[in-house]
Amino acid sequence: MFGVTILGNNSAVPAYDRHPTAQIVTIEDTLLLIDCGEGTQMQIAKYNVRWGKIKYILISHLHGDHYFGLIGMITSMCLLGRQDSLYVYGPSKLKEIIELQLTSADTTLPFKLFFIALEEDGLIVNENKFTVSCFATQHRIPCRGFIIKEKKKKRKINKETISNYQIPTAFYDRLKDGEDFTTAEGNIIKNEDVTLPTRPCRSYVYSADTIYDRKIAELSSGANLLYHETTYVKTMTENALLRFHSTTHQAASIALEACVDKLIIGHFSSKYEKLEVYLEEAKEVFSNTHLAIEGVTHII
Amino acid sequence: MFGVTILGNNSAVPAYDRHPTAQIVTIEDTLLLIDCGEGTQMQIAKYNVRWGKIKYILISHLHGDHYFGLIGMITSMCLLGRQDSLYVYGPSKLKEIIELQLTSADTTLPFKLFFIALEEDGLIVNENKFTVSCFATQHRIPCRGFIIKEKKKKRKINKETISNYQIPTAFYDRLKDGEDFTTAEGNIIKNEDVTLPTRPCRSYVYSADTIYDRKIAELSSGANLLYHETTYVKTMTENALLRFHSTTHQAASIALEACVDKLIIGHFSSKYEKLEVYLEEAKEVFSNTHLAIEGVTHII
């Protein structure tokens, strides 16, 4: 399982029962929370997210609609008796903000809380099954997007063909890594003759809050799923630029240029009760666009 | 209109769609927000509270379930273009916490935000129509409760009797203040013969988080409405003491001793989905007890 569950899809002021940005990324048994607007812990309860499995929290930037729920999450994890370490990535000031609030409440956490300041682009998490890297976006304050990518899986031994050759089982691990086998006589048995390929590594790109920036298309190139904000409708290009956000057409253009399989749009303005306008406009440019709807999981 | 609207009634971790502590006190055209747990701004929207009329925010203490929603409230007031000054009362660290978050988001407020540190008991707000005073409660960290009291209204001129006397209209304001009138001949016209009494000043006592403390009964003596926390059921006196909270029977005993008209209980534990047990137990001691139910307004 590799999927993204939307917990919040609104920008700035919550409205129409839409909540500020938060998403859960599930990779098998590990959960990552990307951004954590106010009320995220209530959304987590509402949608039965497995709190205890959240190992990483990635905060893109310090606008409140992306992190005001973090201190509540951490405090509730404490009250619920969490013991596993928690890794929080975000702007460097985040540590000070959270620690000041924990100290003021005289809270001692029963688990280890690690803050990792996002100060440059590149790899930030290196798990057995996936990696997370971050990249700077152009926003009003320092902001980063995230790329979550499965690691290449080992090839599988082809049980139907391997018996045709005399390859010691001790060499199987190297076959799984893609090596050819050379016999004592110097004959080469090609790896693809005795192993099966694995499916390509899946990836998810969360491009946070950003102006229209073709660098994101480059970074998202070939991704299975891209989340791109669409705070504004297509006619509001000037407002978008002025406020360091994107329009529907801009987000969809990035998806098109990047040749991603699927685009999710979100960070909707509180001006719009109905979201159809966002979807219709984005689809004019990139047909496989979906609205970020709270509670919906997108399998990658 | 003098009333209290419950926006949140739960303690610690939100549960069963119950939110952390927040209440709106309405006194005619002025609104006060008492405590502001996470999600308070969503509750304000849900229950159609007039955001713009909130002039005072009173934060009892720095446990998250009483103030984690404050930064979101202030930020949303900013985004909604508030211009009126806002007065926030709370522990001294609150200013640092909020200012750090505003600075980190590069937010410049379009209104004046005044922080007033609660450092000693006594009068904190002196409005034309009411006063607010605060008192320390015994809790795990410094905590204060609040007494909101109408000011004595001026007496009204009794139109039916005043024409029987020759009192210059210039003296009417002094009559309204309760003075007798002395005629040129030295005769005294008693105030109560020419004016009508006003009803007694109403008051509301919010006793925040606290252990069982008879001082609260003394401070609440004769109040129309008392809010008292009941984190625990009656059998859990030891837990209550250990965690600086109160039981149902303790809260109701305070109400009984104080001879208040009505008691609201809240700050319910997430262990209980149903709240009847709290109500039944409190009523064993003080019959006019009501559960704090979100969205319900108690007219004083």
State the fold for domain A2-153+199-299: Metallo-beta-lactamase; Chain A (3.60.15)
The structure's pTM equals 0.92
The tens-digit pLDDT sequence of chain B (300 residues) is 999 999 999 998 999 999 999 999 999 999 999 999 999 999 999 999 999 999 999 999 999 999 999 999 999 999 999 999 999 999 999 999 999 999 999 999 999 999 999 999 999 999 999 999 999 999 999 999 999 999 988 899 999 999 999 999 999 999 999 999 999 999 999 999 999 998 889 999 999 999 999 999 999 999 999 999 999 999 999 999 999 999 999 999 999 999 999 999 999 999 999 999 999 999 999 999 999 999 999 999
Two tokens, residue B58? 């009173």
Residue B293, min C-alpha distance to chain A (Å): 18
Q: Where in chain B is the domain with CATH 3.60.15.10?
A: 2-152+202-299
Is B41 within 8 Å of A106 when comparing Cβ atoms? Answer: no
Is A162 in a helix, a strand, or coil? helix
pLDDT value at A114 more than 90: yes
Is A64 within 8 Å of B41 when comparing Cβ atoms? Answer: no
Residue B92, min C-alpha distance to chain A (Å): 10
Q: Please give the mean pLDDT across all residues of chain B.
A: 97
Superfamily of B2-152+202-299 according to CATH: Ribonuclease Z/Hydroxyacylglutathione hydrolase-like (3.60.15.10)
Is B41 within 8 Å of A13 when comparing Cβ atoms? Answer: yes
Residue A44, min C-alpha distance to chain B (Å): 11
* ipTM score for this prediction: 0.91
Is B284 in a helix, a strand, or coil? helix
Q: Where in chain A is the domain with CATH 3.60.15.10?
A: 2-153+199-299
- Could you write out the DSSP letters of every residue in B27-47? ETTEEEEEEE-TTHHHHHHHT
Helix residue ranges, H only, chain B: 40-46, 70-79, 93-104, 172-176, 191-194, 214-219, 237-242, 248-258, 276-285
Which of B38, B101, B106 is nearest residue A39 as measured by Cβ atoms? Answer: B38
pLDDT value at A199 more than 90: no
Alpha carbons A119 and B244: distance in angstroms, whole number: 42
Phi and psi for B193 in degrees, rounded to 5?
-80, -20
Alpha carbons A267 and A228: distance in angstroms, whole number: 9
Residue in B43, B36, B88 with CA at minimum distance from that of residue B66: B36
For A213-235, the pLDDT digits (tens) are 999 999 999 999 999 999 999 99
- Number of helices and strands (H, E) in chain B? 9, 18
For B209-254, the pLDDT digits (tens) are 999 999 999 999 999 999 999 999 999 999 999 999 999 999 999 9
The catalytic position among B17, B29, B35, B65 is B65
Q: B-side interface with A, Cβ within 8 Å?
A: 12-15, 19, 38-39, 41-42, 45, 62-64, 68-69, 71-72, 75-76, 79-80, 91, 93-94, 96-97, 100-101, 104-106, 140-141
- Number of helices and strands (H, E) in chain A? 9, 18
